[in-house]
Amino acid sequence: MNKRPLGSNGPLVSEIGLGTWSFAGSYGPTDEAESHATLKTCLDLGIDFLDTANVYGMGISESVIASFMQNNPGEFTIATKGGIARDPETNRRYFRNDYDYLAEQLDKSLKRLNVDHVPLYYVHKREEDRDIEEVMDGMARLQKSGKIGHIGLCEVSPATLRRAHAVAPVAAVQSEYSLWTRYPDLGVIQTCKDLGIAFVPFSPLGRGIFASNAPDPSTFVKGDFRIGTTRFSEPAYAYNLKQVEGFKRLAAEMGTTAPTLAIAWCLGRGEHLLPIPGTRSSEHLIECANASDLKLTESDMAAIEQVLPVGWAWGDRYMPAQQPGAERYC
């Protein structure tokens, strides 16, 4: 597994990480044993970069990682997140980026992870009415305390990123990015490169549409994030699947699989990109990891663009209720 830096001053980590939202059941039921098997496969493959958050199963993902690390200490570079809150009476989601809340949630994450420090801590979603300069002042305080190594932001605009980076160095920006979600190409990826910041694509397999066996929305269980989204609802989903068939044929012609090619495409978009596919399956993880050995040429990248041109997907990636917290800038 090749390595890339988490920002210009960050640690070297595997260029393909693992997103662990699925450890908390976001895409169907799972258990600790299955998640531990996936983490063991990470070690076998040389994947040492894990991404989690305090709200993934309300701490379940962090706790599962901690229980695995009891017998495998020091094997992973862990990133976690804070900044999403819920009203205890209505269960309504909202965002808090004030120092007190981020510090409180960080302490809870550290306790669940059974560590006193995380290498990377993200502001998970932006609180729209709070100046990013104030948020970064608070994150810098956490960094100076020794509890976090580096600062990250999620789904922010290029303007917000530049303002934030002027206050304190941002090591990484995480946003959804894949062959069917190209929004970060409109400024964020370029800004990260200009400022020496790592760009961390989540859902690089399009929430499963680029898997070798694409999901069947009729089998989605309650709580699945994809239920109700336009891209996974008819007639859009049937259309999208048909477009992906051409990509799968191209992958076969290249002697690989669709998941491997989709991850390799992300890696080929810039040396500062570190995709974090999310899976709880060792078999699927191996397909993702194979992308580290697949070096795409300019003609390969052009062939992919021809099969799946920018904007080919039908439907929005989020329902309106899921959109707040992700900055729009174009």
The number of beta carbons lying within 10 Å of the beta carbon of residue 223 is: 12
Q: Do 214 and 244 form a contact (C-beta atoms < 8 A)?
A: yes
- Separation between Cα atoms, residue 256 and residue 294, nearest integer Å: 9
Please report the sign of the dihedral spanned by the C-alpha atoms of residue 279, residue 283, residue 288, residue 289.
Answer: positive
Cβ atoms of residues 223 and 25 within 8 Å: yes
Please report, in angstroms and rounded to a whole number, the separation of the first and last CA atoms in the chain: 36
- Are the C-beta atoms of residues 234 and 207 closer than 8 Å to each other? no
Q: Clarify whether 56 is annotated catalytic.
A: yes
Three-state SS at 94: strand
Catalytic residue among 27, 56, 122, 177: 56
Radius of gyration in angstroms for the set of CA atoms belonging to the chain, rounded to a whole number: 19
Residues designated as active site: 56
